[in-house]
Amino acid sequence: MLSSYSSNFSYRAAAAAAAAAAMELCVNFPKILNLNQKTHLFFQGSSFPDSIRNPTLQFKIKNQKNPLNFPQRLSSFSRQIQFLQPPSFPSGSRLLAASTASEVVTNRLPVDIEVTETQEPNSRVKLSVEVPDAVCEDCYKRVLNELTKRAKVPGFRPGKKVPESILISYVGKENIQKATIESILERTLPHAMSSVTGKALRDSVRIITKFSEMEKTYSSISSLRYDVIVDVVPEVKWIPENGYKNLKIVVEIDREIDAEIACEHELRRRHKALGSLKIVTNRGLQVGDVAVIDISATTIDQDESNVQAIPAAESKDFHFDTEDGDKVLAGFLDALIGIKRGETRSFPLVFPESWNQENLRGVHAQFTVECKELFYRDLPELDDSLADKLLPGCTTLKQVKELLLQRCQEIEQTAKDQATDNAILDQLCKMVEVDVPQSLFEEQGRQLYGAKLLEIQANMKLDEEQLASLSSPKAVNEYLEMQKGNIINMIKQNLAVGDIFKRENLEFSSEKLVKEVQNSIAEFKRHKQKYDEERVKEQVEEILEGAKVLEWLKERAEIQYITR
């Protein structure tokens, strides 16, 4: 099952540093007090839909509910399936854990602080911290001692004790006050966070009390009060409880990926590539021909003043292969059969309710098509003499068909496995209630955007101005808002998978983990990319966990396959 893991994971590893570089341009996080800073690597990727030369004659989009082709699949090492991994709760890198606890032990306070915990929406907790006079006084003395060591006060040797009044006069009362407040925060925040240690998400901790307000409080009563907001691990609620243990899944498989049909199409494609196009002179269009046509369309309305052009249907010099007639708007091919070079035809068609462009669904349109050129294919006879040209290394047509069928069967199985994983993940998403933290939403969304930006840059070779525009905070925030539903659904899937792994006490071997971590690090080194070994290990763990969960679920699910 894991045979192709190295190429799948390592591809993301190789792209990680480049994606991170792209993200530096588009991430605009607020300043926060980070208690456990670590390097972030961006492994996830996604792809845009195939470009369509003529939107009206478009091929059927396989995932109309997901127009940007978001990765909705868990990484599986036997196929190219990408999925944003769950944060490995409760021991993942996103948590504030041991480091916070150790700071509490090593940085004791003279008296305890008072912390009031309030639950907030979106898996957020507000911590209201009351710092007593004794702690503030202790921090004040520490600041003075430190300033005595460092400040070069005229008339006093370095390190010699300076009277408090002289030191305050030299450094400035306001500066000492600011330094004391910073010292109070630095010493008390780990203690305040101790109640959420092990469940607080890293990079989500923010002191929301303004510094100026803390200055006023401290200067007036020599104590301090401040509020902290932190995101915590969201609780996963299953509806029904344990419903994932007996899933009933219906998996839709596209007819086009049926191995027998796909093999025929591939053989035909290769055969056509060996032929040549010749001009038709004495007849009209037939199935098998290629026509060069101009297309336009308007809406049909009894009130002629309401008739409007349909820009999406306009196309000049469109090369229409009639063998693809089943993949275009129903009735389009039939209306053109028999058309001759130089002829123009006009005919009505209705866009179906399943059409990809929502604004065209159900629209009655009047199409006008001009045939500018008409070609037929002059193909060589399909026999053993073409075997090596159809598939290098083959000597007979039978051998070509067998090898093509074998490849198509592998593709069919991969697509079937992928569709099954998608259906399971989609079902899990519907069965859980999760209050998604804002910091987790932003992190995952920005990673997706960074990966898309990296792909755009690779495919389109953007200049600096274009890259700056696409990576601006405004562009990122617009993307997050537009794709909010998709991002939240992916996070819910990830958290559901992670919860199942814990609930069912699933495991994978340490040998497998070590091997895959070594493979991934080797890829980083081969591409001369920087990496965080601990983060790489966490990513591998998450992928292995996800694959294990999907395997466990498929063994217990009732799965029905239907062809669409």
Which pLDDT tens digit goes with each residue over 502-554? 999 999 999 999 999 999 999 888 888 788 899 899 889 989 999 999 999 99
Residue whose tokens read 């907001």:
229
Q: What is the DSSP letter of 30?
A: P
Average pLDDT over residues 12-40: 31
Q: Is the same domain home to 555 and 431?
A: yes
DSSP state of 393: T
30 and 45 assigned to the same domain? yes
Q: Which two tokens stand for residue 363?
A: 């629209």
Output phi, psi for 403, to 5 deg: -70, -40
CA atoms of 451 and 27, how far apart (whole Å): 12
Residue 388 resides in a domain: no
Residues with Cβ within 8 Å of 168's Cβ and at least 6 positions away in sequence, in order, are: 176
For the chain, the average pLDDT equals 79
Shared domain check, 538 and 441: yes
pLDDT (average), residues 156-174: 79
Same domain, 285 and 225: no
**Tokens 């004659």 sit at which residue?**
57
In a domain, 104, yes or no: yes
Same domain for 26 and 60?
A: yes
pLDDT at 28: 30
Helical segments of 172-241, H only: 173-193, 211-221
Same domain, 143 and 196: yes
| pLDDT of res. 382 | 94
- Kindly state whether residue 367 falls inside one of the protein's structural domains: yes
Q: What percent of the chain has pLDDT over 90?
A: 50
- Directed axis angle between helix 473-482 and helix 438-460, to 10°? 110
Output the pLDDT for position 74: 35
Domain at 119, CATH number = 3.30.70.1050
Same-domain status, 127 and 172: yes
Q: What is the mean pLDDT of residues 351-369?
A: 89
Other Cβ atoms within 10 Å of 95 Cβ, number: 22
Count structural domains, the chain. Answer: 3
Min mean pLDDT across 4-18, 46-60, 223-237, 284-298 is at: 46-60
Q: Does residue 49 carry a pLDDT above 60?
A: no
The answer on pLDDT for 94 being more than 60 is: no
For residue 51, how many other CB atoms are within 10 A of its CB?
5
| 60 compared with 356, residue with greater pLDDT | 356
pLDDT of 296 strictly over 50: yes
pLDDT band at 159 (very low <50, low <70, confident <90, very high): low
Tokens 């059969």 correspond to what residue? 337
Integer Cα distance of 304 and 261 in angstroms: 46
The Cα-based distances of 50 to 59, 63, 72, 459, 530 in angstroms read 10, 12, 17, 12, 32
163 occurs within a structural domain: yes
Q: Is residue 399 in a domain? A: no
**pLDDT level of residue 400 (50, 70, 90 thresholds):** very high
pLDDT of the residue at 103 = 54
Residue 56 has pLDDT above 90, yes or no: no
Task: Give the three-class secondary structure for 153.
Answer: coil
- pLDDT confidence tier of residue 477, bands split at 50, 70 and 90: very high
User: The domain containing residue 74 runs over which residues?
Assistant: 5-79+238-255+409-447+481-563
